[in-house]
């Protein structure tokens, strides 16, 4: 469904942002 694709994109973006944040803080 379109919703699944949307959620997938959000998760990918969130993970990418989290990784950058973790690298920055650590």
- Residue 16, pLDDT score: 82
pLDDT at 25: 58
Please report the pLDDT score of residue 24 as a whole number.
Answer: 63
At residue 3, the pLDDT reads 92
Give the dihedral sign, CA 19/23/24/25.
positive
* Dist. CA 17–CA 23, nearest whole Å: 10
The tens digit of pLDDT for each residue in 1-26 reads 789 999 999 988 888 887 776 766 55
């Amino acid at each position: 469904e379109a919703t699944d694709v949307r959620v997938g994109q959000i998760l990918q973006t969130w993970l990418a942002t989290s990784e950058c944040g973790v690298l920055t803080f650590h």
